Amino acid sequence: MTENNNVTKQDQMMMLNKSTSFFKEKDKFDIKEFEKEILPQPELKEAFREYRQTYNDKMDLTAIDDFEISPTAVKKNQKFMKSVVKLDKNFHIYVHGRHDYVEKGYDEEKGLKFYKLYYANEDFG
């Protein structure tokens, strides 16, 4: 699910957050339910299936389509499932939800890409 598959960083973050929520809220993982909820577009499903097959082949694994979800494992691995956008070497943007509050664009005059962030409250902590 990369920009090579025409998936924007914003969409990648959204899918990561949806995936995290899926694992937090469910007791059992089912591949069909996961694809239906997290990967609504057919091209994303296909890209996911191809990646999964390639990964399983490379690692010599057998695909498992359903299993019980361990809340402990989800919590332990949550730190690896953060939505972080790294921009050049100057900025890191952490997005934990509300992807509709983030816009990506390109400024023709400056010749640079940009992100526009909307928010209700500000806190310097």
- pLDDT (tens digit per residue) in 84-105: 778 888 888 877 767 778 888 8
pLDDT at residue 85, rounded to an integer: 77
**Global pTM?**
0.61
pLDDT at 76: 81
DSSP secondary structure letters along the chain: --GGGT--HHHHHHHHHHHHHHHHH-SEEEHHHHHHHH--SHHHHHHHHHHHHHHHHHHT----SEEE--HHHHHHHGGGS-EEEEETTTEEEEE-S-GGGEEEEEETTTTEEEEEE--S-----
Per cent of the chain over pLDDT 70 is: 88
Least confident of 11-15, 63-67, 78-82: 78-82
